[in-house]
Amino acid sequence: MKTSASQLLPDTQLVIQYQKTANPQAFGELYKRYYPKLYKYCIVLTKDREVSLDLTQDVFLKTAEKLHTLQYPITFTAWLFRIAHNECIDYLKNAQKQRAIDIGECYEVAAEVADETIHEKERLFEKMEYGLKSADPETQDLLKAKYLERASIHDLTERYGISESAMKMRLSRARERVAKYSQHPASSQLQIAS
């Protein structure tokens, strides 16, 4: 069985790819990853398998329509399950079904999703930390001043003695270098060693 490139990407990269290009393979991979979990979540809330099939499809349709509005791709999982939750609650209200929801099952599914989200965030932070450590000292100092010390562009222009536009360009390039090092640790080590 051949592995496609989209199967290897983390969720956040698939979301970004779909937002930029409406790539059907990226959305298809998100669909494959989340369909079983969303379906299970809908069953827990509605107690109806047939309705849950429909609701899960509705959630993905809404996701495809609204994914471009998601500002922080790292929050995709929580955002997706919020859509699912709202769809299920709307269904229950409209159908006027008053069922007791087994809160324990809901928490179990939510905890499973939360664990995956936490692990994804941890991997992202590890990559960014590696990227920052791999960068040259000037890049490290600049990014630390901007993001840890929360220095304004104006403060940085005075500190480095360059124009505002030059500072913005320098920050942009520094972020790009760190992101590149984060994505390709092996190649960044070669560049640092050179």
Q: Domain 5-122: which topology?
A: Rna Polymerase Sigma Factor; Chain: A (1.10.1740)
* pLDDT tens string 135-159: 888 888 888 888 778 889 999 999 9
User: Are 99 and 92 in contact, with CB atoms under 8 Å apart?
Assistant: yes
Predicted pLDDT at 2: 54
How is the chain split into domains, by residue range?
Answer: 5-122, 135-193
Where are the extended beta strands (E) located within the chain?
none
What pLDDT is recorded for position 120? 75
Eight-state DSSP code of residue 161 = T
The predicted model scores a pTM of 0.52
How high is the pLDDT of residue 23? 87
**Which residues have C-beta within 8 Å of that of residue 132, sequence separation ≥ 6?**
140, 143, 178, 181
